Structure 1
Amino acid sequence: MPTPTDPLAPLLSLEGVPSAYAAARDGIDVLLRDRGLRRTSPDLTAESLLLGAHASAVLEGSASTLDEVRAGEGDEIARDAVRLSTQALSVAPLLSSAPLQAFARLHALAATGSVEEARLGRPRDPESAARLRQIADLLLGQTRAPALLVAAIVHADLATAAPFASHNGLVARAAERAVLVARGVDEKSLTVPEAGHLAFRGAYESNLRGYRDGGQAGLHAWLLYAPEAFTKGAEASPLR
């Protein structure tokens, strides 16, 4: 039988990409190893998820402060982000077996109460459904690409395809975190990639536009941006 083609293999030949992802992964591994994963508690994961929910909500347009979100007093976007974050990790195992179900579940968690029930977890149109299948195939296939790179591609594809009726940014960032869990980068979800994106908000938003509209150059720029955000997200970990 022919060997399956690795769709991400060409990305590993782009200048600076392999070394950037290796450095980001090394930094995350050092953080998690040095702090001793066996000594961490569920409270640290909960804090990481809360920090991520707040950062993701701000990127989605929320005006709520972290203190307001922590007190349960955030605006609607923040409440949606928190609801999503509290359940997102339970979706991670589906990414390796039923990613379409995982994406649908993430959207349903984020958008409950904001869109009619019939649209929860459902793609907007046939083109959106096809894009979701492409992203799912990426997760189901075999690749030599680093897990961080896979997470970055899933994030950008979901954010720029906007396949759901609403909350696509929240879903994309939650999916990125879930990939990091599912692929063993950060199994207890102690880093805060959403905070990394918020810290670099201007670059984050411009690189997503470039990914959508900029062809190969835009793709390359996103791939070089993402490891910086992952590194910044590790610095935001409550482990520190």
Structure 2
Amino acid sequence: MVDVLASLSSLADLPGVPAKVAAAREACEQLRWHEALRRRIPEAAAESRVRGAQASAALEGATVPLDLVRDVMRGAAQWPLEPDPVERVARGAVTATAETEHVRGLVSSAPLQALARLHVAAASGLLPSDQLGRPRVDGEPSEELLDLGEAPSASAMRDRLELLVAVMTAGSVVPGLVVAAVAHAEVATLRPFVRGNGVVARAVERALVQGTGLDPTGVVVTEAGHATQGGPAYLGALAAYGTGTPQGLALWIGHCADAVVAGAAQGQQICDAVRAGRLS
């Protein structure tokens, strides 16, 4: 654990990273002072999850209308009884993003439980029930995110999964942005599950950004922050992280910091809409 904390602390000091971390923290602090958040945090946070779910689905190649996502999440609409492949992926993103509200208190205290719950939400309907909520075992490959290279074997993945748990519990001594960024990248590169890894990775980041206190209101739309930079930039930054070089690691953390800044700007738009009554 000491080695993990030392490694994370060193990441926070990489060239360019402190300024990026500071910019993300400042953007979240400015959002926190928005007038709409004095009494209407739940309403704004709910809309953040709506927009985050749509963006997370889009990064999986499943584009669905924002109004549909909003109606499903507030119980005014349902997915078809026999959803097509795009709808199944979008449903997983919506359900996993909704679940972040319930696991934000677990991601730092019971990481494996949080990961299991997020995976059940993300992959129900995509995998057999006996593959939900648990890491891959020998003989179970993951064919996702192949732009990042071949997924580690199940045995190699299990060893690194212990490090991921240590990362997710380090938020009290390492900047929350760094913890969230590294946890996101580790889930995406490890691919601990057969399917649903990208959705789970982004849900983990959202929950950690909130759980570590960077965005206690839950209004920052981190997923949209990634999506606005574009899918190629997102995958490229993840691939840079996978190189393990200081430059690659700094690039990914900076990408996540920029996503938080952009997500906070979208949070400001949400708060403006809440205050004006346009979401009622």
- TM-score normalized with structure 1 length: 0.91
Q: What is the 5 A alignment of 1:1-240?
A: 6-35=6-35, 37-72=37-72, 75-124=87-136, 125-141=154-170, 144-201=173-230, 202-213=232-243, 215-237=245-267, 238-240=270-272
Q: Say which SS state the counterpart of residue 215 (structure 2) adopts.
A: coil
Structure 2 distance, partners of 1:221, 1:200, is 13
Larger displacement relative to structure 2 (119-128 or 5-14): 5-14
Contact conserved, 2:185 with 2:238, CA < 8 A, in 1? Answer: yes
Q: Give distance in 2, aligned partners of 1:215 and 1:81.
A: 31
Give 1:143 shift.
Answer: 6.0
Alignment root-mean-square deviation, CA: 2.1
Aligned counterparts of 2:23 and 2:191: Cα–Cα separation in 1: 30
Q: Which runs of 5+ in 1 are unaligned?
A: none
Unpaired stretches in structure 2, ≥5 consecutive residues: 73-78, 80-85, 137-153, 273-280
What SS does structure 2 have at the residue aligned with 1:127? helix
Comparing 148-157 with 215-224, greater Cα deviation is found at 215-224
* Distance in 1 separating the partners of 2:181 and 2:93: 19
Q: What is the Cα deviation at residue 99 of structure 1? A: 0.5
Aligned 8 A contact 1:49 1:192 in 2:
yes
Partner Cα separation in structure 1 for residue 186 and residue 194 of structure 2: 16
d(CA) in 2 for partners of 1:234, 1:149: 17
Cα deviation for residue 97 of structure 1 reads: 1.7
Cα deviation, residue 115, structure 1: 0.6
Q: Is the 8 A contact 2:17 2:253 kept in 1?
A: yes
Say if 1:97 and 1:140, in contact at 8 Å, map to a contact too: yes
Q: Percent identity?
A: 40
Cα displacement string for residues 31-67 of structure 1 (whole angstroms, at most 9, x for unaligned residues): 1123353322422211110100000000011032223
**What SS does structure 2 have at the residue aligned with 1:194?**
helix
What number of residue pairs does the alignment pair up? 239
Cα distance, 1:41–1:147 mapped onto 2, change above 3 Å: closer
Aligned-partner SS, 1:93: coil
Instruction: Report if aligned partners of 1:147, 1:183 keep a CA contact under 8 Å in 2.
Output: yes
